Amino acid sequence: MAIILGIESSCDESAAALIGSDRTVLAHRLAGQEEAHKPYGGVVPEIAARAHVQVLTPLIEAALKDAGLALDDVDAIAATAGPGLIGGVMVGLVTAKALAMAAGKPLIAVNHLEGHALSPRLADASLEFPYLLLLVSGGHCQILRVDGVGQYRRLATTIDDAAGEAFDKTAKILGLGYPGGPRVEALARTGDPKAVPLPRPLLGSAEPHFSFAGLKSAVLRAAQSGAHRPEDIAAGFQQAVVDCLVDRLERALAKSSSSPPPPFVPSVSRDLSQPSGITSLDFARDKRNLETRPKTLVVAGGVAANGAIRAALEALAARNDMGFVAPPLWLCTDNAAMIGWAGAERFALGLTDPLDIAARPRWPLDPAAEAARGAGVKA
């Protein structure tokens, strides 16, 4: 069994974990920054970076102690290398580089989004490629076809704001504080989702992309009008997000089933003419995946912790004769276990990285995806 040390620092969670290649979580330590950012109603990048510097090394030491391991017992060190707040990403990646150099261990630079995309496979050993993934978080809202490690075809993205950002902004408008997602969900349970007329941006449009900027503006106008109870606004907003996610996924399923599979181009940063650690059998298996309709709908990312969204997506999967997989709630939000597991998946294929690899504020899972019409730089 290979043991991977995972390090996460892309936003406002500092985390370290020890993960076995047999899916054993040997240790996991996490330090949040909620109190530091609460006065500002959102994450302040400089404060976040300083906090990572202060707590990351003690977290790693504590995780090793919890697992009863020394650094020499670790087979590789995986760290988030992007995308995310660049200051925090740099703290985690530089820490991983220093440990890898000092201990003579391989470094694995993990795409934070790949961590989310593969995390359901840590929780569910039966989940096989390919699967359809809805990735919903504070910074991302995408639908991807996952055909293997490093093999992602983006079917849809947000043209403006992500669903998680919309939750946070709605919480701020309603005076609920930070973090916004869980607080909006809690307030929505006591409200009437039909009481406040709110838009469903792009509902029914041909392409399965997302848009939440207009919904945020409508929430602001509803709150400023004084004509609606906060709990009804929260419930109406949450239902609008659910309706948009379900409609867009229905469209993506139709698109995925009717369009021909893309050419096989694994998105790994190495010379694939001589792929170290990847056998011809691996390539043949992955090519067959491209010809297979995904049988499982998977949801991952921080917004996947929302109970109403999970229930609606599970019903959608059942209507389309698909399995449904959502990681445990603790694996949905940012954590180091998913980074360690993504590292384990890549390590098993012989995919490691040089010590001079750079941190990236932006790092798409599907670099070949066409820009969504009307999308801004965040998409």
Are 295 and 131 a contacting pair, CB within 8 Å? yes
Which of 2, 1, 10 is CA-nearest to residue 333?
10
- Residue 4: strand pairing partners: 19, 76
pLDDT digits (tens, 9 = 90+) for 289-337: 555 789 999 999 889 999 999 999 999 999 999 999 999 989 998 999 9
1-124+328-379 against 128-326: fold identical:
yes
pLDDT at residue 181 is higher than 90:
yes
Residue 39 is predicted with a pLDDT of 86
pLDDT grade, residue 375 (50/70/90)?
A: low
Residue 131 is predicted with a pLDDT of 95
Residue 265 is predicted with a pLDDT of 43
HSE-up of residue 306 (Cα within 13 Å, Cβ side) = 32
pLDDT grade, residue 232 (50/70/90)?
A: very high
Strand order in the sheet with 13-20: 25-32, 13-20, 3-8, 76-82, 107-111
Secondary structure tally for the chain: helices H, strands E: 12, 10
Mean pLDDT of the region 32-60: 91
pLDDT digits (tens, 9 = 90+) for 75-96: 999 999 999 999 999 999 999 9
Query: What is the distance between the alpha carbons of residues 379 and 377, in angstroms, rounded to a whole number?
Result: 5
Residue 18 in 3-state DSSP?
strand
Query: What is the distance between the alpha carbons of residues 115 and 332, in angstroms, rounded to a whole number?
Result: 10
Which of 135, 160, 137 is CA-nearest to residue 145?
135
The phi and psi torsions of 70 (rounded to 5 degrees) equal -110, 165
CATH superfamily of 1-124+328-379: ATPase, nucleotide binding domain (3.30.420.40)
pTM of the model: 0.86
Query: What is the distance between the alpha carbons of residues 175 and 180, in angstroms, rounded to a whole number?
Result: 10
Mean pLDDT of the region 100-119: 97
- Residue 13: strand pairing partners: 32
Query: What is the distance between the alpha carbons of residues 232 and 245, in angstroms, rounded to a whole number?
Result: 20
Residue 34 is predicted with a pLDDT of 84
pLDDT digits (tens, 9 = 90+) for 121-169: 999 999 999 999 999 988 889 999 999 999 999 999 999 999 999 999 9
Which residues have CB under 8 Å from 354's CB, separation 6+? 107
Domain segments of the chain as ranges: 1-124+328-379, 128-326
Residue 258 is predicted with a pLDDT of 57
Residue 172 in 3-state DSSP?
helix
Phi-psi region of 76 (alpha: psi -120 to 50; beta: other; left: phi over 0): beta
Query: What is the distance between the alpha carbons of residues 236 and 197, in angstroms, rounded to a whole number?
Result: 7
Q: What is the CA radius of gyration of the chain?
A: 20
Lowest mean pLDDT across 114-118, 278-282, 374-378: 278-282
Residue 225 is predicted with a pLDDT of 98
pLDDT grade, residue 38 (50/70/90)?
A: confident
- Architecture in CATH of 128-326: 2-Layer Sandwich (3.30)
Residue 283 is predicted with a pLDDT of 38
Task: Enumerate the H helices of the chain as residue ranges.
Answer: 34-37, 45-67, 86-103, 112-123, 163-173, 180-188, 213-225, 230-258, 280-290, 307-319, 329-332, 336-348
Mean pLDDT of the region 164-183: 93
Instruction: Classify each residue of 91-120 as buried b or exposed e, where b means 16 or more C-beta atoms within 10 Å of its C-beta.
Output: bbbebbbebbeeeebbbbbbbbbbbbbbbb
Name which residue leads in pLDDT, 37 or 49: 49
Which of 3, 33, 2 is CA-nearest to residue 15?
33
Q: Which two tokens stand for residue 294?
A: 């995904």
Residue 376 is predicted with a pLDDT of 59
Residue 358 is predicted with a pLDDT of 97
Query: What is the distance between the alpha carbons of residues 237 and 231, in angstroms, rounded to a whole number?
Result: 10
